[in-house]
Every structure is written in structure tokens, then in C-alpha cells.
Amino acid sequence: MNLSQRLRAKTLERYQLPPEQCDDAQLFHALMAVTQQLAAARPAPAGARKLYYFSAEFLMGKLLSNNLLALGLFEEARELLAGMGRSLSALEEQEREPSLGNGGLGRLAACFLDSIAALGLNGDGVGLNYHYGLFRQKFQDLKQHEEPDPWLEAESWLIPTGRSFSVPFGGFTLQAVLYDIAIPGAHTGTAGRLHLFDVERPAPAPAHGIAFDKGDIPHCLTSFLYPDDSDQAGQLLRVYQQYFLVSAGAQLILAQLEERGFSPETLSQHVAVQINDTHPSMVIPELIRLLLERGLSMEAAIEQVSHTCAYTNHTILAEALEKWPLSFIETVAPQLLPILRELDRRARARSDDPRTAILYGEGRVHMADLDIHFGYSVNGVAALHTEILKHTELKPFYDLYPEKFHNKTNGVTFRRWLEVCNPALSDFLTARIGPGWKTDPAALEELLALEGDDAALEELLAIKRANKERLCRALRARQGVELDVESIFDIQVKRLHEYKRQQMNALYVIYKYLEIKGGRLPARPITVLFGAKAAPAYEMAKHIIHLILSLQALIDADPQVRPWLRVVMVENYNVSWAEQLIPACDLSEQISLASKEASGTGKMKFMANGAVTLGTLDGANVEIAQLVGPENIYTFGASSQEVIRLYQEGSYRSLEHYHRPGVEYLVDFLVSPELLSVGDPAALAALWRDMKHKDYFMALLDVEDYISVKERALAGYEDRPAWARKMLFNIAKSGYFSSDRTIAEYNRDIWRLH
Ligand code: 26V
């Protein structure tokens, strides 16, 4: 049966209607069901060893288009719907986006599942089925408010498996019910699985906001991703979530091992576990515990687990390095205590350096230390990040186990982030260099032959313009804003964090606002777009959102400035917004304080879609700069070595930078009568004081260089043919950042699944 026949059979069965007479919701649900059945019917790939990718987050995005593409049905579906006067994008409006992730780490996990499946590797994801996601962001009174973000409907991509495992907590036991999402591999005929565990009787959504009874573990364990942990109940809930995930996941691993006909003594031969940051680190003691229960000696259990587990570090920020009090583990999973003490004893026997112990300082468990001692691989996520881990953050461990450390530069799936989200550019690429780039993005280099082809460059500019128009339509429909498609689209979308320095971008907006007020007009209008969620308890991040929204309101109301400068913050930035914003971007803002952004992956998507990067030499920006050369990227700011030295010496003084003539008037604008007339004086003053006296992430150190390089980038944009060549170069060199390349390296160096 072809797709048309399957769809017809499905709509007749469900709604007693032919597809032509179904509304968008019916048609979407029928197509989802057809797609899901085809994906679920595919076998798992073969392989001697099976991978389990453990992650607290999987930021999957909508699945319909992506799954159709992987099943080889994307074109057929587009044509079929067009023949009925319908469109795939209209149907996808009906799909809710699963909000099971927060930012880069979760989206990376989703790209990895796509690539694992596409490479035909035998690997599954293991996570939790959060019902209300992280939160849905609402703007009210120029501030962020949080609401539950329910994504589950009666029909969803989840497949009940009928399988469940008992998770033993201190004092009670919970059943972990397993649901699967099938992940079809592009061009493989096989499919992997995302395994999501849930409680049996999940609580309904809170009536208002995201506050709920954090002590009600049996019903609320899977309510939210990263529930508020500003009190002890919240911190304990996070540990309950983590143990629920790893205990159920470890039991699944051992059950499947047995089903494959292998004994627990051979775990490491047949299983690889990738630990995505430290949230799933308790999988190590839990697997040891389960092997002991199955009769292995402590020695043998530790040996097996140490050759099974591998750890990826995604951040050097101290506050993100988890160190749980031992007393929490005693409450949540007391059965792990003797194992943790034994692992600590062994770690201490391996090194005199107290910094490599597992239990220390007020009885806390250092989760990363557990992974490094009792895993066989440690990797960073970009070249610079891995060097910083080896020589600074994790130096004592690198001295102990140099052979365990290696780099795996992140990547993104070009299927979602080019083929699906930018069909116009994809068609252009295929017409110019053939379809080879779809299976091997490195082939995009063949575009370099078009450097002198004026018609091709013109076409590239026209495609960008059409994508900007598409974004304008989406913003008009969803947020009621009207933008100038002739303006340059300057975009910064990512989690809100001081180290990512959205506040420095806001200082640029202030600079440009005051220039325009002073009669110095830009060569062309500028549209500065932001998208970001702030962690609900992160005050300074919320103040920065308030600053941006206040600037947006101030400028919108100013007829002198508005034609030349706009600020727009998209509400509830998520994967679907990213798919609209990224293809429409001219200038990609990647301006983190050097050394702080482990990699960044949005930057790779922007590059592949023909945006030019404005960035510091941080994370994967370093590798982008090497690939495209100085002509095709705008870099600025202090180097990572300078920044690391400033932190080591404790010698950064923001006040000294504040007093520079090019800086003071910009910072003081935060508490100017103009801005105070729209914004909240307390929030703006708190941000102003922080910038002036603290500025922990050194925005004032780099702001002048940032402004001058950004001005150069805007001037560069005016030479349209030269800019089109920069776009071409960026697209041509972006193939390196395919997650297929990254996953092939993980498999070659870590998992060895074949
Ligand atoms: C962040 C948060 C923030 C909300 C509250 C709870 C919580 C818990 C853990 C974390 C750590 C997040 C680590 C992370 O997302 N790292 C990002 O990983 C990306 C993929 O490797 C990388 O591209 C980004 O540079 C890095 O920031």
C-alpha cells in the first residue's frame, strides 16, 4: 500500500470519512497513526553491543515531518496533501511539541537519537515522561510567567509497552511504567526507541502556575522537568526523579540482556551506557547493585560496570556540577549507600589527591567524580571545551586517567535542521550539487564551486528573503508584530543565562537607540530578535528578560526610532520557533564569555542555513572560525585564556570598565527616566547595580569590542554579493557539524557497537 491508500484506510476506519473531507485535526491524527505504525513495525538494527543513551532531557520537537522524512515518505506526503489543497505545515500546527527538554543538552540528545537511527546503530534513549515539560512561557507586564506545558493527548507518539519495573525507594516502592517512541532511521529500514518511564497515576496539572506538592512523589515525580529546587523538598524530588530514571533504565537493560540470551557477567560486552551529564550518574551504583543481586561479586560487578558506562560533560559552570548530600541518597535510595562508600574507598586508593574523591566536604556525593572513576570514557563537546576540562576543570582526573579523555565535537541533524525546516534552501542545494549532501553533509563543500556564480548567489539571497517573509507571517499570526523584511535579522535564541550575555546584546540595542535618537541613522533598519526561557528561580535572568521586553516596548512606542530599530522577544521559544527563526537569520549571535559555553549547537544550525556568525572565540565558534576563515565570521572579545586568568587571579573589576566613556552611558540607560517610564524600577535597578559592581560574566569587558565588530558586520551586509559569498561559504563548511559525523565518532571511539 502506498501512503495515499494507507491514509484513506485510516480516515475511513477512524472517522468514516475520506481524507478530503477530514479537518486538519483528523487528518493530522490519521497521518500520525500511519507514520507511527510504519515506524514501530521496523526491526531494531543488528549489533553485538547495544547502546542506552541516558538523559534527563530529550527535546524532540514535533515529530510528524521528521518521521515522514526518515521513512522516505516526506515528498510523497507533501505531494499527496498538496493534491488535496492541504499542507503538511498546516497539519503540523495540530501537533503539540513535547517539552521534555530545557536547552542544548536535551536538543543534542534528540539529534543523537536521529543520527543513531540513521546510521543503523543499535541504540535507544532512556528518559522520563514529564507531563507538563519545563514550563510554557507567558509574557505579562513585560515579565516572564510560567505555566504548565501539557503535551500529551489521548493520542500521541507514545506507544504503551505493557512493561513496568519496581523502583525501590527508602520506605516505599513505585512502578515505573514504560512507554516508547519509535525513532525510524533515514535510509535504513530499521528503527530505534526512546524509552520514557512514567508513574502509574500521574497528577493532573496545577490549576495556576507551576507550583505543586513536591512531597507527593508517587503522583508528581514525572510532572515537570527540573522542578523548582530552591527548597529541600524540591532538591529531594530531583533525586527521586534521577533514581527513578536510572533504576528503571538499569532494570530494562538487564532484562533485555537476558532476552538476548546473555548472562549478567557479560554486561560490558553487550551493553554501552552513555551518561548525558551527571543527572543519570546513579546508574553506576544502581547497575552494580543489580549485578550483586544477580550473584556477581563486588569486584566483578564494578569491573563490568566500569567497562559499560561512559560520561559526557556538557558544562564547566560550577553551579551545574551536581553534588548531592549523602543524606538525600540515604532518604531516596538507601540501598546505594554501601556501594557509594565502597566506590569512594576504591577511588581514594587510586589517588592521594583529595579532589578526586567521591564523598567529601559535608558528606556530599560528587556525581561527575563517580562517572570518571567508574566509567571508561570522558568526553567534552567541542575542542576548546575538552582542552579546558583536561587542563583546568578536571585536571586532577586527566593526570590520573589521560587515556579516558577525548573530544567529541557536537553536531546537529541536517534532516530536521535543513531538509525539513528549510525546503527552499534544500531544493536549491539539490539542484546545484545533487542530493549527495542529504546522506553526507560533508558534500556541501561542493558549493564552493559556485563562489563566482552570480545567479546562484542571487538565488541564495532570494531564499533568505523568502524565509524572512515566512517568519514575518508567523510573528504576525502568533504575536501580532509587524516586521520589516528589508531589515537585517539579527537573532539570539538560547536559554537565558548571564554567561550567554543577552544583556550585552541589550547594551548594543541601547547604543543603537541612542545613535538613532542623536540623528545617526544606520544604513538599513535592524531587527534584533531574542528567544529565551529563564529558569523560574534565576532572578538575574528574569531581570534580563524584563530589560529586553522594556526596550521592545520603549522602541515600539517611539515613531522616531521604530522605523530603524526593532526588538522582538518571541514568547515561549521552543524547537518549533527555532525551525522558523533559524532559516530567516542573517546574523547569528554567539556571544558567550570565552571559556563558558561548552559548545553551543544552535550556531551550527544557523551556519547550515546561511547565517553569518558574530561571536567570541568560545565553544564550537572556535571550530567554525577555523573552518570558514576570518573573511566569513565576525569574532571579538577576550580570549578564553585571558578570561580563565582573570578568574584565577580574581582580578576582574567591572566598575573600572563601567567608567569607560563608551560604556557608562549605556549601562546608566537602565535607570534612565525613559526606560523607567516603561519598566519596573526595582528590577532594572537591580540589574544596573549588578552590571556595575559585579558583572560576573564580564559583559562590560567585551561590550565595546562587540559594538564595533557588530557595526562592521552590519556594514558588511550592505555589500550584498560579498555577503552572499559569506553565506555560501558558511553553508559549504557546515557539513562538519552533522550529528551523523559526531555519532560515527562516538561509535568508533566509545561504543563500538558493531
Ligand atoms: C542546567 C540546568 C538549568 C535549569 C535548571 C536545572 C539545570 C540542570 C542542569 C543544567 C546543565 C545543562 C548543561 C547543558 O545544557 N549544557 C549545554 O550542552 C550543550 C550540548 O552539549 C552545549 O552545546 C552547550 O554549550 C551547553 O551549555
**Tally: H helices and E strands in the chain:** 33, 20
Q: Which residues, in sequence order, are CB contacts of 200 under 8 Å at separation 6+?
A: 164, 174, 175, 177
Per-residue pLDDT of 337-376, as tens digits, reads 999 999 999 999 999 999 999 998 779 999 999 999 999 9
Single pTM value for the model: 0.98
Distance (Å, whole) CA 248 – CA 253: 9
Q: Nearest-CA neighbor of 311 among 338, 279, 343?
A: 279
Dihedrals phi, psi of 144, to nearest 5 degrees: -80, 135
- The answer to whether residues 213 and 348 belong to one domain is yes
Answer yes or no: is pLDDT of 40 > 80: yes
Per-residue pLDDT of 423-470, as tens digits, reads 999 999 999 999 999 999 999 999 999 999 999 999 999 999 999 999
Residue that the C-alpha cell 528567544 belongs to:
531
Total structural domains in the chain? 3
Range of the domain at 247: 42-61+97-408
Provide the pairing of β-strand 378-380 with 405-407. Answer: parallel
Beta carbons within 10 angstroms of residue 13's beta carbon:
10
Could you tell me if residue 72 is inside a domain? yes
Closest residue by CA, ligand 1 atom 24: 600
Per-residue pLDDT of 249-300, as tens digits, reads 999 999 999 999 999 999 999 999 999 999 999 999 999 999 999 999 999 9
Q: Which of 315, 413, 601, 616 is catalytic?
A: 601
- The answer to whether residues 224 and 109 belong to one domain is yes
Catalytic annotation present for 497: no
Our answer on whether the CB atom of 386 is closer than 6 Å to any ligand 1 atom is no
Per-residue pLDDT of 728-741, as tens digits, reads 999 999 999 999 99
The C-alpha cell at 301 is 560487578
- The answer to whether residues 526 and 386 belong to one domain is no
- The answer to whether residues 674 and 563 belong to one domain is yes
Per-residue pLDDT of 602-638, as tens digits, reads 999 999 999 999 999 999 999 999 999 999 999 999 9
- The answer to whether residues 456 and 396 belong to one domain is no
Q: How far is the CA of 105 from the centre of ligand 1 (A)?
A: 5
- The answer to whether residues 478 and 515 belong to one domain is yes
Q: What is the pLDDT of residue 321?
A: 86
Contact 306, 320 (CB under 8 A): no
Could you tell me if residue 443 is inside a domain? no
Our answer on whether the CB atom of 228 is closer than 6 Å to any ligand 1 atom is no
Q: What is the pLDDT of residue 362?
A: 72
Our answer on whether the CB atom of 69 is closer than 6 Å to any ligand 1 atom is no
Closest residue by CA, ligand 1 atom 3: 535
- The answer to whether residues 104 and 28 belong to one domain is no
Could you tell me if residue 353 is inside a domain? yes
Buried b (16+ CB within 10 A) or exposed e, 525-563: bbbbbbbbbbbbebebbbbbbbbbbbbbbbbeebeebee
Closest residue by CA, ligand 1 atom 15: 105
Catalytic annotation present for 605: yes
- The answer to whether residues 34 and 115 belong to one domain is no
- The answer to whether residues 180 and 241 belong to one domain is yes
Could you tell me if residue 427 is inside a domain? no
Answer yes or no: is pLDDT of 319 > 90: no
Question: Which 3-state string (H, E, C) describes 608-639?
Answer: HCCCEEEECCCCCHHHHHHHHCHHHCEECCCC
Could you tell me if residue 419 is inside a domain? no
Annotate 449-469 with DSSP letters as a single string: GGTT-HHHHHHHHHHHHHHHH
Q: Which of 494, 501, 543, 726 is catalytic?
A: 494
Q: What is the pLDDT of residue 247?
A: 98
Contact 562, 555 (CB under 8 A): yes
Could you tell me if residue 69 is inside a domain? yes
Our answer on whether the CB atom of 120 is closer than 6 Å to any ligand 1 atom is no
Q: Residue length, the chain?
A: 754
Catalytic annotation present for 314: yes
Contact 597, 501 (CB under 8 A): no
Buried b (16+ CB within 10 A) or exposed e, 403-435: ebbebbbbbbbbbbbbbbbbbebbebbeebbee
Catalytic annotation present for 96: no
Q: Nearest-CA neighbor of 590 among 391, 382, 279?
A: 382
- The answer to whether residues 199 and 294 belong to one domain is yes
CATH of the domain at 566: 3.40.50.2000
Q: How confident is the model at residue 645 (pLDDT cuts 50, 70, 90)?
A: very high
Q: What is the pLDDT of residue 345?
A: 97
* Strand blocks (E) in 97-187: 123-128, 136-140, 143-147, 159-169, 172-184
Per-residue pLDDT of 476-515, as tens digits, reads 999 999 999 999 999 999 999 999 999 999 999 999 999 9
- The answer to whether residues 667 and 631 belong to one domain is yes
Could you tell me if residue 151 is inside a domain? yes
Q: How far is the CA of 408 from the centre of ligand 1 (A)?
A: 16
- The answer to whether residues 345 and 462 belong to one domain is no
How large is the average pLDDT for residues 291-310? 98
Report the chain's mean pLDDT, rounded to a whole number. 97
Contact 305, 373 (CB under 8 A): no
Catalytic annotation present for 524: no
Could you tell me if residue 208 is inside a domain? yes
